[in-house]
Structure 1
Amino acid sequence: MKTKTARSRFLKGAASAAALSAGLLIAAPSAHATSSSGTWNIPGGNKMSVNAWHCGAFVNACDWKASTKMTGSNPKKAQWIKNVADLQAHGISVSIKISKNPEASLTMVSKSLGRVTWKNTKTWISDTSGQMRPSKLTTYVSTKSCGSAQLTSKIKFSTKCVYAGAA
């Protein structure tokens, strides 16, 4: 009888745990991202894309990515291609800490706005990524991504920007 009672308690406990887990999954907010992209035709037949992305919901940290990409084969590689990402915390008396990939540079424009810059040479892409750690009073974060490039001595892609975040 002890075996049957122990097994019965185990099954009841397992059923309760499963029900609790299912309830948490249903009640948990969905993690969605906030993003923006733009694509422009450039002389020679190539296209340039500028992209911005960051997490849609966060507690302590929020991953982010920004890029400028060239597609096409005329030329296959740019002389240089650049991405500048402005990462900002919004709210009352907010601040932000930012991590980024090692080759990019970070300039803190203010305590709530950081600018990450990466100029890549002889390639088709300049992409950066990292993590934002906004202060507790932050209501939302935003990512503004701006791209530019010098494809050949005669073909230049002037700065174009996209914005991901609340308006």
Structure 2
Amino acid sequence: MRTLSRLASGGAAAVAAGALLFAAAPAHATSASNTWGIPGHKMQVNAWHCGSYVTACDWKASTKLYKGSAHDNAQWVQNRAILAAHGVSVSIKISKNPEATLTMNSKSQGTVRWKNYGGHKWIADTYGQMKPSSLTVYVSTKSCGSAQITSSIKFTEKCVYAGAA
């Protein structure tokens, strides 16, 4: 009986340690990034969202202008993020940063857009939270960036995709 009790308490300790390790482990995010060279500059477009969620998933998308390793101002920089829930008969609710606009393309997909004409014209970043319905298999973030660097240099929209293929 004593051996059974020790085994049970040892098993409980192992389960508790495993739960602690799992709880302390960081969640893996899903992300994508690419950089394109343009005359005298480079543009970077990024997409990121949580790797796992229960009811909500944070997301971020950005477009950045660099000259060498430092940021550089443009006439404007824009980011367009397309957020989607994937599965059969799914829906999604999307929150966003205040300066951005949200257009729901369907009940399972929305587009968040921000064109930065103001200060810090080297970046247009959008962010918020997705709340997909319970039947959602996975979520995705497609981030598209564009910019008018000078009157003669324009960065036409380029995109990156974070999500299942």
TM, length-normalised to structure 1: 0.84
| Partner residue of 1:90 out of 67, 86, 90 | 86
AA paired with 1:115? T
Which secondary structure state, in structure 2, belongs to the residue aligned with residue 138 of structure 1? coil
The 5 Å alignment of 1:38-77 reads 38-43=34-39, 45-72=40-67, 76-77=72-73
Aligned to 1:3: none
CA distance in 1, matches of 2:41, 2:152: 14
Which residue identity is paired with 1:136? Answer: S
In the alignment, structure 1 segments of 5+ residues that lack a partner are 1-14
Q: Provide Cα deviations, 1:95-122, integer angstroms capped at 9, x if missing partner.
A: 0000000000000000000100000015
2:131 to 130, 133, 139: 133
Read off the aligned partner of 2:100 and give its amino acid letter.
A
Letter in 2 for 1:81: V
Q: Give TM-score, length-normalised by structure 2.
A: 0.85
Letter in 2 for 1:41: G
More deviation in 74-83 or 122-131? 74-83
Give yes or no for contact 2:65–2:71 (8 Å, CA) kept in 1. Answer: no
In structure 2, the CA distance between the partners of 1:75 and 1:94, relative to structure 1 (3 Å rule), is: closer
- For residues 119 and 109 of structure 1, what CA distance do their matches in structure 2 show? 19
Which residue of structure 1 aligns with residue 3 of structure 2?
none
Cα RMSD, aligned residues only:
2.3
What whole-Å deviation, never above 9, does each CA across 1:38-80 have from its counterpart, x for those lacking one? 100111x211000000001111000000000001179931101
C-alpha separation between the residues in 2 aligned to 1:54 and 1:75?
24
Q: Structure 2 vs 1, CA of residues 153 and 75 (structure 1 numbering), >3 Å: closer, same or farther? A: farther
SS in 2 for 1:78: coil
Deviates more, 1:92-101 or 1:75-84: 75-84
Q: CA deviation at 1:21?
A: 3.0
Structure 1: which 4+ aligned runs deviate by more than 6 Å? none
Q: Which runs of 5 or more residues in structure 2 are unaligned?
A: 1-9
